[in-house]
Amino acid sequence: MQKSLLISKNCHYFSCSVNLCCAVVSRHGDRTPIFTYPNDPYRNESFWPEGWGELTEAGKERMFNLGRYLRRRYSSFLTNNSNETYIRSSEIKRCQDSAKLIATGIYSSNREMNSTYDFYVETKPEIEDDVLTVKAFCPLADSEYNEVEKSFEFKNISERYNNLYKFLTEKSGTDIPNMYQIREMFTTLSIQQAVGYKLPAWHETSSKIKSRFFD
């Protein structure tokens, strides 16, 4: 799960010049899939002209509108000088684009989104970023993850939904052995549905099971 961070600092508030700080943490906007499977009717990249894992038009607009909202919400805090804001993002492109679009929404005089946003965004390599990504090197987190997989609760869930795993493995054409892979498939199906693609017939068969699983 990657995020972006915007911090506005050293601003003037009402009539008093004081050092204030407003921090905003946001996840990226709507994106295209990063997971596909052999029987996926939309696995060809031609269905996703933005590329895998990139912002969709809806995602870009959502981030821009978030920036417009922040401008209204903090109108007495912000100035028109974008140098007052420090922007940091995970190194993933969709997150950097999201941060730039939020900043564009805050500082652009245009009420409509355009593609000419260009703000400096600080990043760190993913393995070193222990603030905005869950993939930073952390032996303790790896150890806890392994403990969860060995826990009674995890094994109980695996046994309880074993038939669901088998069903999705058969229909997808790829091995779905646990809840993590189900999450990836569920996200992909949700994205396809959101952009208007018709989902496979088997999706309707298993929708009630999936809804129960993810509630």
Domain boundaries of the chain, sorted by first residue: 3-128, 139-214
Task: State mean pLDDT over 168-187.
Answer: 90
Q: What is the pLDDT of residue 202?
A: 86
Six token digits for residue 207: 């929708």
Q: What is the pLDDT of residues 84-105, one digit of tens each?
A: 889 999 999 999 999 999 999 9
Task: State mean pLDDT over 173-178.
Answer: 91
CATH fold of 3-128, please?
A: Rossmann fold (3.40.50)
Q: Is residue 11 predicted with pLDDT exceeding 60?
A: no
Q: Is residue 45 predicted with pLDDT exceeding 60?
A: yes
Looking at beta carbons, which pairs linking 33-39 to residues 24 or more positions away fall under 8 Å?
Answer: 33/187, 33/188, 33/191, 33/192, 34/184, 35/184, 35/185, 35/187, 35/188, 36/188, 37/172, 37/173, 37/174, 37/185, 37/188, 38/172, 38/173, 38/174, 39/171, 39/172, 39/173, 39/200
Higher pLDDT, 79 or 116: 79
Percent of the chain with pLDDT over 90: 51
Q: What is the pLDDT of residue 6?
A: 62
Six token digits for residue 112: 């409509």
Give the span between the Cα atoms of 4 and 120, in whole angstroms: 13
